[in-house]
Amino acid sequence: MTSLLIDRIGELTTNDDSLGEGLGGRLRDAAVVVEGSRIAWVGPAAQAPAADERVDAEGRAMLPGWVDSHTHLVFAGDRTAEFEARMAGEAYAAGGINVTVEATRAASDAELSRNLTRLVAEARRGGTTTIETKTGYGLTIGDEVRAARIAGEQADSVTFLGAHVVPAGEDPEAYLDLVTGPMLDAVAPHVSAVDVFCEAGAFDEAATRRVLESARAAGLATRVHGNQLGHGPGARLAVEHGSLSVDHLGFLEDADIAALAGSWAEWRDGAGPRGTVATVLPACDLSTRVPLAPARRLLDDGAVLAIASNCNPGTSYTSSMGFCVATAVLQMGLTIQEAVRAATLGGAIALGLHQDGWRNPRGETQPAIGAIRPGARADLQLLDAPSATHLAYRPGMPLTTAVWHAGKRLH
């Protein structure tokens, strides 16, 4: 097995406070040794062991690769006109989803795979090393199984979102029976979790409960799209059902925030029952002109936070986690370290991939992700900047200059 030493790292964010200072576990003048797909050593550059190969970071900042825990990448078509209308004052409504459903059903497997490859490549160039993606633009048994299968060829984690909207022209009760019955049975072998869009215009409280209960009965983890377009029961139901995460969260009551924070009361350093991660999607909030999710308050009150891109053709057509981190700092009031942690380790916890031994959709057992510490998967990004602070200090700049995924250099 070849080893690689990356040294002269000006600032290393490890996300492990036993390795460095403060929330990010930061080290100055640091080095990292990679062996195979894992990190073998982390510490001061002056004490670094020798390795077969060497990369000189020349004082640049290194941090874990982004963990994008919420995307919708299996789709066809384009919704420029809808976006343009929204920027001219029209409100976003979940109905636009059916436009993409129609285009996706009409596309060939090869077209869907090619679009997915394009979007994954874009994300990787921007420093993303772990990607969750969802079905949800098929909404028939065949189209949902197809989306899950195609997603599983490239993503690290695949989620079944049959409960995205009721397809145009279908009876809501009959569709709910399908999504919680035969469609779930058919898609389950291809996914690790089930998601439901709990919102006016999508699925109400009773329907959301049925989706979450059917997922649990099938032995799958759950997530909820909640509190995106207005106040509602999404966050509360996610906590009640022990969902891995609830995502969006622009419209939260005090009780929702208390429930999200309270769900982590017994969880310390990965021990004790975990809670529900509050995942905020800053690019989506901007692109739909809803209030930014109260990330500052969620953290202050004790919730565990993730930041994700929500890349999809309707509400957030970007995979740039750097943009999301900059927005979280500049407009949501997070510190750099809080935002970077939420976009790396926070995403890993939201996906349940922060501990060793998880399996990707190809059945390959994987090391923990989200931190740069011995034993973790060697998912690293090097910035063309001396500090991660530049992510917000120089917003919008393509700062990621090198990426390693499971020890392999991508660019």
Smallest separation (angstroms) from ligand NIG to the CB of 257 = 20
Our CB check for ligand NIG shows the closer of 25 and 314 to be 314
Collapsing DSSP to helix, strand or coil, 341 comes out as helix
Our CB check for ligand NIG shows the closer of 10 and 313 to be 313
**CA dihedral of residues 59, 120, 72, 320 (deg, nearest 10):** 30
Give the Cα-Cα-Cα angle 40, 335, 275 (nearest 5 degrees).
70
Smallest separation (angstroms) from ligand NIG to the CB of 316 = 6
Q: For tokens 């910035």, name the residue.
A: 383
Our CB check for ligand NIG shows the closer of 30 and 229 to be 229
Collapsing DSSP to helix, strand or coil, 164 comes out as coil
Our CB check for ligand NIG shows the closer of 63 and 191 to be 191
* Strand spans (E) along 268-347: 277-280, 305-307
Binding-site ranges for ligand NIG (CB under 6 A): 72, 96-97, 100, 197, 225, 228, 284, 310, 312-315
List of residues 6+ apart from 351 with CB closer than 8 A:
67, 69, 130, 132, 156, 157, 244
Our CB check for ligand NIG shows the closer of 23 and 286 to be 286
Smallest separation (angstroms) from ligand NIG to the CB of 159 = 11
372/16 Cα distance (integer angstroms): 7
Smallest separation (angstroms) from ligand NIG to the CB of 251 = 13
298/301 Cα distance (integer angstroms): 5
Smallest separation (angstroms) from ligand NIG to the CB of 229 = 8
Residue nearest to ligand NIG (CB): 314
Collapsing DSSP to helix, strand or coil, 134 comes out as strand
Smallest separation (angstroms) from ligand NIG to the CB of 310 = 5
Our CB check for ligand NIG shows the closer of 39 and 101 to be 101
